Amino acid sequence: MNYDKVLCERIKNVPPSGIRKFFDIVSEMKGVISLGVGEPDFTTPWRYSDAAIYSLRSGHTHYTSNRGLKELTRLISEYESRFGVTYRPDTEIMVTVGASEGIDLAMRALIEPGDEVLVPDPSYVSYMPCITFAGGKCVPVPTSAENGFKFTGEMVKKYMTPRTKAIIFPYPNNPTGGVMTKEDMEDFASAVKDTDIVVIADEIYAELTYLPTRHVALASISGMRERTITLNGFSKAFAMTGWRMGYACAPKEILDVMLRIHQYTIMCAPTAGQYAAVEALKSGLENDFPDVKRMVSQYDRRRRIIVDGLRKAGLPTHEPLGAFYAFPDVTPTGMDAQTFCVKLLEEEKVACVPGDAFGETGSGFVRCSYASSMENITEAVKRIQAFTKRHGM
Nearest 5 degrees, angle CA 118-CA 119-CA 120? 125
Q: Is 76 helix (H, G, I), strand (E, B) or coil?
A: helix
Taking CB atoms within 8 Å and a gap of at least 24, the contacts of 144-150 are 144/361, 145/176, 145/316, 145/318, 145/327, 145/329, 145/365, 148/178, 148/179, 148/318, 148/319, 148/321, 149/120, 149/122, 149/173, 149/176, 149/177, 149/178, 149/318, 149/327, 150/178, 150/180, 150/184
Q: In the prediction, which pLDDT does 212 show?
A: 84
Average pLDDT, the chain: 95
Percent with pLDDT over 70 in the chain = 99
**124 touches 140 (CB < 8 A):** no
Minimum mean pLDDT range among 5-14, 102-111, 147-156, 193-202: 5-14
Fold for the domain defined by 3-43+291-390 = Aspartate Aminotransferase, domain 1 (3.90.1150)
- State how far the Cα of 268 lies from the Cα of 94, in Å rounded to an integer: 9
The CATH number of the domain covering residues in 46-287: 3.40.640.10
pLDDT digits (tens, 9 = 90+) for 17-73: 767 766 777 777 788 999 988 899 999 999 999 999 999 999 999 999 999 999 999
- State how far the Cα of 96 lies from the Cα of 101, in Å rounded to an integer: 6
- Average of pLDDT values for 144-161? 97
Which segments of the chain belong to CATH 3.40.640.10? 46-287
At 219, which amino acid appears? A
Which segments of the chain belong to CATH 3.90.1150.10? 3-43+291-390
- Average of pLDDT values for 273-293? 98
Q: In the prediction, which pLDDT does 21 show?
A: 65
